[in-house]
Amino acid sequence: MCGIVGYVGSDENNTMEVLLDGLSGLEYRGYDSAGVALADNSIDVHKKEGELSALESALPDTTATAQKESVGIGHTRWSTHGPPSDVNAHPHTDADRRVAVVHNGIIENYQTLRDELVDAGVEFRSDTDTEVVPHLIGTYLDAGIDREAAFRRAIDRLEGSYAIAAVFEGSETIYAARKDSPLVLGIGEEGHYLASDVPAFIEYTDRVIYLDDGEFARLTPEDVIVTDSTGTVVETSIETIQWDAEDAGKSGYDHYMLKEIHEQPKALRQCLRGRLDELNGQVELEELGDLSRTGPVQFVACGTSYHAALYGATLLRERGVSAQAFLASEYDAEAIPVGADSMVVGVTQSGETADTMRALREANRAGATTIAVTNVVGSSAARECDYALYIRAGPEIGVAATKTFASQQTALTLLACALTDQGSRNLVRQLRAVPDQIQTVLDTSRAREIAEVYEDADAYFFIGRGYHRPVALEGALKMKEITYKHAEGFASGELKHGPLALVTENTPVFAMVTGDSEQASKTIGNVKEVEARDAPVVAVTDGQSNVGRYADHVLEVPAGDEITSSIVANVQLQLVSYWVANRLGRSIDKPRNLAKSVTVE
C-alpha cells in the first residue's frame, strides 16, 4: 500500500527531482508520510509526516537543487506498525547510516528479529517493522560481508510480504527484492528506475521489467541485473507501456475522479474492441484460447472489485452455471469445495491486491483453473493465473474506482458469454451501445442538483434487485469513500427486514429501477414503503416503469438491456457521490485512511 520509487543515473538528471516526481506519481495509492534518501559518500535522509508538500517544504534549498548524487530512493507510507510521524516515516537507516531502506508490505517476524537485534545492542528509533531491515544489513556489514551479500542475507531472514529497496553510502547502486508486493523496473536512456507502479516514472521511460516473487534486482547507471534467490541471473523481457504521462494527468478536470468518470465511454470502447461479433451475436476472447468450463465458477475479489464479482456471478447463474462470489479475505480453499474442475476468477484492478492474490494462489494449489480479470498488464495476477482477461481501462489515479468498475462489469459480461456460449445479437448490440448511453448520462445528468439538495443528509441508502444489487452496494461504497458520510446498499427486498428502521425524512433512498419486469414492479413496492415513511426517493430509471410518480427526484438513463442498464445506472450514482463530496470539501482523489492498491492482508 506504500509507494516506493528509486533512481540511479547520470549527473544530467537531478536525482531529488526524479524522486519527488516519482512520489507525486504514487500519491494516488494513499499515504500519511513521505521521505527520500540520497546516497553519495554518505546517506542523506529527509522525511516528514503529512503530504508530499510537507516534505518538499522541509527540504534544505541546497538539497532541493543538488545534482551530485546519482542514486536515491523515496517512499510514501501508509501506516501499519506505528502511527504517522516523522520518525516512523521511511527511509530507515542502520545506526551508522551506511544503508537506507524503503519497504512496502508487512514483515511478520519483525518482533522476533527486533528482539534479537535489541539483545545484540541495537537501538531502534521507530515503531515500524521495516527498521529491522537496515539494522540486519548493518550487522552483516559489521561482520565484513559485502553490500549485496549483506542485503541478500537480510532478505533471507524476513517472513511476510515485501518490496524492498536499499542504497548504501559510497555506492551508485540500488538493491531491491520482492515477495507478494509489486515492484517494477524502468529502463531509461540516462538511468534506471524502480517503483511500486509505473506512474512513478512514466514521464521518463515507458520500458519496464516486472519483478517476480523471489527475484532480486541490482540497478546501476549502466545496467539492470535481475537474479533469483541463489544469485543466478534471470532472463527478463522488457515490455512497453501503452499509455503515457498525459493519460495519467487531470486534463483540466478539478479531480482525477471526475476525469475518470468522464473517461468511461472511452474505457468501455477499449474493453469491447475486437471482442464482439455483431453479425453472429458472439463474443470472442482470444486471451482465453481454448479455455472450457466443466465445473463451478468462484469469483474472489475485494471492495469495488467484489461488487463487480457479484455482478459476474449473477450473470453466470442466469445462464445456468453454478457461480459464487467470495470476499477474497474470507476465501478458504480448504473449507470451500474447489478442485480440478473448478474455475476461480480473481477480479482485481491492480492485479496486486494481497487478499485476492492469496486466494488465487490457494486455488492454484488446489488445481483449479484460474483467470485474472485485471487492468494491469504484467501484474502478479496476470502472471500467476492460467489466463488473464484485461479490462483495458487505462490508468486510474483516483483512489475511488470508477471507470475500472464499469470496465470490470463489461469484461465480466463478455466472460459470461464466452464461458457459456450464450451471446445474442441483441446483447452484443446493447453492449456496443453502452459507451454512447454513458455519454448521454454524462451530458444530461442532474446529479449535481440532487447533491445540492441532499448534501446534509444523515445517511444515504441505495437499493436495487438482480443486476442492480451490486450497483447499489457500489453506490453506497462510493458515497462512504469520498464523502465520509454513512451510506448503505441493499437488495431492495431486504430493506423491510431491518434497515427500514433507520429510514427518516433526512435519509434519501436511491432506487434503481429499469425496464418494466416483475423485478421492477417489486422494487417500486419497496419505494412505496420508503415513501410512506416520509423518506425522500431518488429514482434512477429509464422511464419504462412508473417509479417516477413515487420519487422526489429522477435521474434518467437511456433504455437498454436489463444486463447493461446497471452499467449505465451506476454512472449517475458516481456523479452524485462526487458532487456531494465536492460540496463538502472532501479530499476526493485521496480519501482519508484509504489506499488505491491494497498490498497487505
Residues 459, 338 share a domain = no
Annotated catalytic residue within 259, 478, 480, 596: 596
**Is pLDDT at 63 greater than 60 in this prediction?**
no
- Give pLDDT, residue 66: 47
* C-alpha cell read off for 212: 517476480
User: In the predicted model, is pLDDT for residue 595 greater than 80?
Assistant: no
The three grid cell numbers given for residue 307, joined into one nine-digit string: 461488487
Provide the domain count of the chain. 3
Cell of residue 17, nine digits: 527531482
Task: Identify whether residues 272 and 193 lie together within a single domain.
Answer: no
Name the helix (H) or strand (E) containing 133.
helix 132-142
Q: What are the two backbone dihedrals, phi and then psi, of residue 100, each rounded to the nearest 5 degrees? A: -125, 140
> Which has the minimum average pLDDT: 136-140, 288-292, 488-492?
288-292
Q: Give the cell for residue 234.
A: 534471470
596 in catalytic set: yes
**What does the pLDDT read at residue 341?**
92
Same domain assignment for residues 239 and 306: no
Q: Given 390, 406, 436, which residue is the final one in a domain?
A: 436
Of 247, 281, 298, the last residue of a domain is 247
**Amino acid identity for residue 449 in this structure:** E
Closest to 455 (Cα-Cα) out of 588, 581, 586: 581
Whose grid coordinates read 429514482? 539
2 is catalytic: yes
Report how far apart, in Å, the C-alpha atoms of 77 and of each of 128, 405, 450, 490 are.
11, 26, 37, 35
Nearest to 564 by CA among 458, 442, 443, 428: 428
Mean pLDDT for 336-362 is 93
What local confidence, expressed as pLDDT, does residue 169 receive? 95
| Catalytically annotated residue among 2, 302, 385, 417 | 2
12 shares its domain with 109: yes
Residues 452, 412, single domain; the answer is no
Report the chain's C-alpha Rg in angstroms. 25
What is the model's pLDDT at position 599? Answer: 57
% of the chain at pLDDT higher than 70: 96
Please indicate whether residue 596 or residue 461 has the higher confidence score (pLDDT). Answer: 461
Strand order in the sheet with 160-168: 92-93, 99-107, 160-168, 174-179, 216-219, 224-227
- Please report, to the nearest 10 degrees, the dihedral formed by the alpha carbons of residues 422, 423, 427, 428 taken in order: 170
CB 473 within 8 A of CB 307: yes
Do 353 and 454 fall within a single domain? Answer: no
**CA separation for the pair 347, 370 (Å, rounded):** 11
Whether the predicted pLDDT of 54 surpasses 80: yes
Are residues 103 and 133 in contact, defined by beta-carbon separation less than 8 angstroms?
Answer: yes
Cell of 124: 531502534
Residue with the three cell numbers 531529488: 16
Contact predicate 143/341, CB 8 Å: no
Residues contacting residue 19 through CB under 8 Å, at least 6 positions apart: 5, 6, 7, 36, 72, 73, 74
Count of C-beta atoms within a 10 Å radius of residue 62: 7
SS (H, E, C) 79-96: CCCCCCCCCCCCCEECCC
The answer, yes or no, to whether residue 65 has pLDDT greater than 50, is no
Give pLDDT tens digits for 510-561.
999 998 888 888 888 888 888 878 899 999 999 889 888 889 999 999 998 8
| pLDDT band at residue 246 using 50, 70 and 90 as cut-offs | low
In Å, how far from its chain's centre is CA 25?
Answer: 14
Q: Count CA within 13 A, CB hemisphere, residue 37.
A: 28
The answer to which of 22-31, 309-318, 444-453, 568-577 has the lowest mean pLDDT is 22-31
Q: How far is CA 353 from CA 62, 227, 241, 306, in A?
A: 39, 25, 21, 12
Q: Which residues are registered as beta bridge partners of 218?
A: 175, 225
**Minimum mean pLDDT among 173-182, 432-441, 518-527: which range?**
518-527
Q: What is the pLDDT of residue 38?
A: 94
Q: Given 397, 412, 436, which residue is the final one in a domain?
A: 436
Helix H, strand E, coil C: the string for 443-487 is: HHCCHHHHHHHHCCCCCEEEEECCCHHHHHHHHHHHHHHHHCCCE
228 and 257 co-located in one domain: no
Distance (Å, whole) CA 24 – CA 14: 15
Same domain, 71 and 215: yes
Residue 490 lies in domain: 445-601
Both 453 and 403 in one domain: the answer is no
Classify 30 in phi/psi space as left (phi over 0), alpha (psi -120 to 50) or beta.
left
Is residue 269's pLDDT more than 60? yes
477 pLDDT higher than 80: yes
Q: Are the C-beta atoms of 114 and 124 separated by less than 8 Å?
A: yes
Whole-angstrom distance, CA of residue 19 vs CA of residue 191? 13
Same domain, yes or no: 502 and 424: no
Looking at 247-332, list the stretches that DSSP marks H as alpha helix, in order from N- to C-terminal side. Answer: 256-262, 264-272, 303-318
User: Is there a single domain that holds both residue 194 and residue 332?
Assistant: no
Give 555-593 pLDDT, tens digit per residue.
Answer: 999 998 889 999 999 999 999 999 999 999 999 998 888
Q: Provide the pLDDT confidence category of residue 278 given band limits of 50, 70 and 90.
A: confident
Q: Do residues 481 and 568 share a domain? A: yes
Cell of 239: 515490455
Is residue 447 predicted with pLDDT exceeding 60? Answer: yes
pLDDT for the residue 597: 62
User: Beta partners for 513?
Assistant: 541
Which of 404, 386, 391, 218 minimizes the C-alpha distance to 307? 404
What is the pLDDT of the chain when averaged over all its residues?
91
The Cα 297–Cα 287 span in angstroms is 18
| CATH code assigned at 233 | 3.60.20.10
At 413, which CATH number? 3.40.50.10490
From the number of C-beta atoms within 10 Å of its C-beta (0-12, 13-18, 19+), residue 240 rates as: exposed
pLDDT tens for residues 123-170? 999 999 999 999 999 999 999 999 999 999 999 999 988 999 999 999
